Amino acid sequence: MKVRGITEMAERTTREIFLGEGSGTGSGSQHLYVNMGPAHPAMHGIVRILAELDGETIVKADVEIGYLHRAFEKECEVGGYNNAIPYTDRLNYVSPLINNFGYASCVEKLLGIDVTERCKYIRVIMSEISRICDHLTCVGASAMELGAFTVFLYMIKAREYLWEVVEDVTGARLTISYARVGGVKADLPEGFAEKVRRAFKETRQVLDEVHRLLTGNRIFMDRMVGVGAMSREETVGYAITGPLLRACGVPYDVRGAKPYWVYDRMEFEIPTGRNGDNYDRYLVRMTEMEQSMRIVEQALGEIPAGPTNVDFSGNPIDPALYVDRGKTGKTEGLLLIPITLSPNLQGQERPVYERVNVDDKRVVLPPKEEAYGSIEGLMNHFMLIMEGYGIQPPKGEAYFPVEGANGELGFYIVSDGSGRPYRVRCRPPCFPPMAALHKMIEGGMVADVVPSFGSINMIGGELDR
Amino acid sequence: MNGPAILLRVAERFGSRILETHDRLGDQTAVVDRAALIELLTYCRDELGLKFDMLMDLTAVDYLKYPGREDGPRFEVVYHLYSLPHNHRLRVKVALEEDDPVVPTVVDLWPIANWFEREVWDMFGIRFEGHPDLRRLLMYEEFQGHPLRKDYPVSKRQPLIGPKN
C-alpha cells in the first residue's frame, strides 16, 4: 500500500496538493493521486481504487481488493461437504441460490449422481428468480448512483416481491442454504406457481416503468453510452463472461453453451449488445430479466411431480424401501409414532421430503420424523453428520460451471476420498471484470468511474471470498 | 472438437512432454512438463482447431496431505481453458516440487492471468516467473505465509496491520 508521489507532495502547498495546481516537478500541472474507497459511498462493496488524475481525467488506476476476504476456500476444507453450503450463500449474497446449486452440482458431479427431474426444475426456477433479483439490484443501484433514485426504489420493490417468494421456499431471504448435495432442503411450498405469477406481474410492471424512465432518458444515456467500453478482444482476454461479454456481442452463456439441469428444454434467447459499453450492459441485463421470467414460466408449466432427492447411486428413493431393506419389521412400529416437529423444520417432514435408502454410502439426510422417531433414521442422520463420515466422493477432481448473474460461476473441487473436500476453488464471475476495471476507467473522467463500476456489479463476497 | 480428440491432438503434438492425460467425469485433463507449459498453452490458444481464447480459471492445489501422493510433487497449478469459437474445454495441470515452486507466467497470453497469478502467489506462495507485478492480491502485504497451503493451520491468527506509511 504505497501512495506514490508522497515525497513530492510533502513540500507543496495545500492548493497544490488538493487542487492539482502549481508547476509541479516539470512544466505544466502535476498529477494528483486520489483514493476512492475502501469505504466510499459510490462503491457498493469495499474496494479501493487508487487513481492518478490529470485534472479530472484518470491517467492510471490501480484496483485493490481483498477487504472482504473470509477464507472461504480454506474454511470449506475444514468441514464436510454439506457444511460448505452456508458459506456459498455468502459468496454472491444477492443471488445466493445460484452459488448453492453450483456447489452442490459440482459435488454431485464428483459423486457421479444425477438429481431427480423435479429437483432440476426447482434449481432452474430458483436460479432464474435469483438472477432477476441480482439484475434488479445491479441496475437499480447503478441508476441510483446516476441520480435516478426512483428507479432504485421501484426495482427494490420488485426485488422484495421476488424475495418473498424465495423466503417462502427456503425460509430465509438471504442466507438461504437451500441446496443439498443430492437435492434440495425442501420441496416447493403450496401455491408456489401462483405466488410467482403475482410477483412476476409486479416485476414486469416495474421493468416497464424503468424502461420508460431510463432507456431513452437523455441524462442517463449521456452518462452510459460509450462509457466504460471494452473491445471484444480485451473482454475475451480478460475472461469476462456474463452480461459484460454479451454486451460486446458474444452470445456466450453457460446455459446455452453447455446446458446443465434442464436448460436444454427451455426456450430462451441470449440477448447481446454491440458496443460493450455501460449502456449495452444495462440493456442486456434488462432483456435478460424478461428471458429469465420466460424460463421460470416454462419450467413451472413442465415441472413433474415426484421426489426431489436421490440416493448415492442416483436412484429416486422409494419411501417403502426404507422400511423393507435391511430393517426387519421392528422399525415399522417405530415409524408410526407420531412426531410433532418444531415449526422451524417446516418443509423437512416426510410427505415432502423423500426417505433415504439405507445403503452403505448415503448423501441425503433422512426426513426429520425418522431422525427423531427411529433408531435407523437417527443413525443415518449421524452417519451423514459425524466427523469422519458423511458424504465421501471418490478420489478425483471436477469443475462445474453454471451461469451466475454476473457470468460463469465455476466450482473446482478436489476430493481425496474422505468426508471433507480436499480443495474447493470458486471461480467468481465478478473477479475478471474487476481485474479489467482499470482498463474501463483509464482515460475517462472521475465521474465515469461510478457507472462503470456499477455495471460490473461487483459483489465483495464472491470477489474476495 | 470433442474432448478426447483434443487430448489426442495435444498428446501427439507434444509426445513425452505431456506426462499424463485423463478423461474423467467429462473433464479432459493434460498434465504437462513445466518446460513445455508455455509452448503448450500458446499452441492451445493459437491452433485453429483448438482456439482456447479464454483462460477461464487458474488456481493451484497443495497435495501435501493427499493420501497416496506423499512423495509426489507438492503443488499443482491448474489452468482451465475455454474456447469461445469451438465451445470446448481443457484442463491443463503442471506439477511443482516443494523446493522450486516456480512456473512461467502466462500474462502475455491472457491478461487475466495477471490477477489469477497474483492470487495463487498470495494463497500458495507459487511464484510466476516474468510476472510484471507479483504482489499479494487478497491478503495484505505484511501477512506472513500463504494461507491455502496445507501446512498453514486453519486456526492461525495474525494481527491486522495498517499500511506501512
- How does DSSP assign B130-152, residue by residue? T-TT---SSS-TT--S-TTSTTS
**Residues A120, A262 contacting (CB under 8 angstroms):** yes
Nearest chain B CA: its distance from A110 CA (Å): 7
A160 with A301, same domain: the answer is yes
A116 with A30, same domain: the answer is no
Cβ–Cβ below 8 Å for A66 and B25: no
Termini Cα distance of chain A: 21
Among candidate residues A20, A42, A64, the one where a domain is terminated:
A64
d(CA B128, CA B116): 11
Query: Number of CB pairs < 8 Å for A and B?
Result: 104
Give the contacts of A171 (CB within 8 A, at least 6 positions apart): A186, A346, A347
Please say if the pLDDT value at position A6 is more than 60. Answer: no
Residue A8 Cα to chain centre, angstroms: 45
pLDDT at A329: 47
Cβ–Cβ below 8 Å for A237 and B56: no
pLDDT category of residue A275 using cuts at 50, 70 and 90? confident
B contacts of A397 (beta carbons < 8 Å): 24, 27, 29
3-state SS, residue A406: coil
Among candidate residues A21, A45, A64, the one where a domain is terminated:
A64
Mean pLDDT value of segment A62-85: 86
Strand partners, A179: A184
Among candidate residues A24, A44, A64, the one where a domain is terminated:
A64
Q: A101 or A394: whose pLDDT is higher?
A: A101
Nearest chain A CA: its distance from B1 CA (Å): 14
d(CA A34, CA A205): 41
Burial status of residue A407 (CB atoms within 10 A of its CB: 0-12, 13-18, 19 or more): buried
A12 with A82, same domain: the answer is no
pLDDT at B79: 92
Nearest chain B CA: its distance from A423 CA (Å): 7
Burial status of residue B74 (CB atoms within 10 A of its CB: 0-12, 13-18, 19 or more): buried
B contacts of A402 (beta carbons < 8 Å): none
pLDDT in tens, A404-439: 888 899 999 998 888 888 889 999 998 999 888 888
Please say if the pLDDT value at position B58 is more than 70. Answer: yes
Of B56, B114, B165, which has the smallest distance from its Cβ to A435's Cβ?
B114
A contacts of B53 (beta carbons < 8 Å): 236-237
pTM over 0.90: no
pLDDT in tens, A239-260: 899 899 999 888 888 888 888 8
A contacts of B84 (beta carbons < 8 Å): 236, 250, 252
Return the top range by mean pLDDT from A21-30, A33-42, A292-301, A366-375. A292-301
B contacts of A257 (beta carbons < 8 Å): 87
Give domain limits for chain B.
3-129
pLDDT in tens, A376-411: 777 777 777 777 677 778 888 889 998 888 889 999
Domain membership flag for residue A316? no
Of A2, A236, A427, which has the smallest distance from its Cβ to B84's Cβ?
A236
Please say if the pLDDT value at position A224 is more than 60. Answer: yes
Nearest to A457 by CA among A385, A406, A418, A415: A406
List residues of B whose CB lies inside 8 A of any A CB: 24-27, 29, 53-57, 59, 61-62, 65-68, 78, 80, 84, 87, 89, 91, 110-112, 114-115, 123, 136-141, 147-148, 152, 154, 163-165
Please say if the pLDDT value at position B13 is more than 60. Answer: yes
A198 with A222, same domain: the answer is yes
pLDDT at A342: 60
A59 with A76, same domain: the answer is no
Domain membership flag for residue A166? yes
Dihedral sign of CA atoms B91, B95, B100, B101 in order? positive
pLDDT at A338: 52
Select from B23, B70, B117, B138 the residue whose CB has the most chain A CBs within 10 Å, as the one to mutate to test that interface. B138
pLDDT category of residue A26 using cuts at 50, 70 and 90? very low
Cβ–Cβ below 8 Å for B140 and A1: yes
Cβ–Cβ below 8 Å for A1 and B154: no
Please say if the pLDDT value at position B149 is more than 70. Answer: yes
For B3-129, the fitting CATH number among 3.30.460.80, 3.40.50.720, 3.40.640.10, 3.20.20.70 is: 3.30.460.80
pLDDT at A16: 58
pLDDT in tens, B24-49: 888 888 888 888 889 888 988 888 88
B contacts of A231 (beta carbons < 8 Å): none
A41 with A87, same domain: the answer is no
pLDDT in tens, B83-128: 988 888 889 999 888 888 899 999 988 999 999 999 999 999 899 9
Nearest to A181 by CA among A252, A119, A229: A119
pLDDT in tens, A318-366: 444 444 444 444 444 334 445 566 665 655 555 555 432 223 335 677 7
Cβ–Cβ below 8 Å for B111 and A238: yes
Of B29, B68, B110, which has the smallest distance from its Cβ to A239's Cβ?
B110
Helical pair A278-302 and A449-456, crossing angle rounded to 10 deg: 20
Q: Position of cell 452470445?
A: A251
A48 with A119, same domain: the answer is no
Select from B51, B63, B77, B82 the residue whose CB has the most chain A CBs within 10 Å, as the one to mutate to test that interface. B82
Nearest CA in chain A to B162: A1
Residue A400 Cα to chain centre, angstroms: 14
A42 with A156, same domain: the answer is no
A99 with A55, same domain: the answer is no
Please say if the pLDDT value at position A2 is more than 60. Answer: no
Please say if the pLDDT value at position A145 is more than 50. Answer: yes
**Residues A184, A123 contacting (CB under 8 angstroms):** yes
Q: Which domain holds residue A25?
A: 6-64
d(CA A128, CA A95): 9
Mean pLDDT value of segment B131-154: 86
Q: What value does the mean pLDDT of chain B take?
A: 86
Nearest CA in chain A to B66: A416
A40 with A119, same domain: the answer is no
Of A110, A236, A431, which has the smallest distance from its Cβ to B53's Cβ?
A236
Nearest chain A CA: its distance from B35 CA (Å): 24
Instruction: State whether ipTM is beyond 0.95.
Output: no
Domain membership flag for residue A108? yes
Nearest CA in chain B to A65: B138
A50 with A103, same domain: the answer is no
Domain membership flag for residue A213? yes
Tally of structural domains, chain A: 2
Cβ–Cβ below 8 Å for A435 and B112: yes
A141 with A227, same domain: the answer is yes
Domain membership flag for residue A85? yes
* Rg of chain B (C-alpha set): 17
A464 to each of A40, A82, A89, A94, A238, how far by Cα in Å? 17, 22, 14, 15, 18
Domain membership flag for residue A111? yes
Of B91, B147, B152, which has the smallest distance from its Cβ to A399's Cβ?
B91
Please say if the pLDDT value at position A268 is more than 70. Answer: yes
Domain membership flag for residue A218? yes
